[in-house]
Structure 1
């Protein structure tokens, strides 16, 4: 599944120990269901990622259309705002729209 962050699977960098105990498995499950677990339910994970990162001057219409019916839109936008994402469509907003939103909040 595509990771909205664009840096590989959600578990990249994690290596399973030779013997996985219940506690270790539980921790990995909590990570997926917790902070970034929303990415698995994101509609963008099922569509062309290039639509969410158009070239300068390219259309954002298709990505925003997908976002309007996505159940994790607010989590996505919160993530982008908290992590100062500078590129792409996140939570249905472009980088310019997110900057305006942040300025109004201050």
Structure 2
């Protein structure tokens, strides 16, 4: 009957096992401790979180700086290419104007 609803013995067993593991973990976390032990755990956890956050922020700043540097380089390259193209266009335009004036004369 359980097979008809999509539950196999394997899935029921795995659910039971997973529930046991979660329950054991919660029991360890919620077990009564002295105030001193609790404060020590909280302090250690807070220090770990602070270190990780500082590390992540440092990595993020480095990545952002690197990305900005690459963007600036790319912008300068594109700007240089556009400037050269505009100058080449001006030269061609001036040559054509000169040819037109010579042909008119």
**How does the TM-score come out when normalised to structure 2?**
0.23
Select the structure that is richer in helix.
2
- Larger C-alpha radius of gyration, 1 or 2? 2
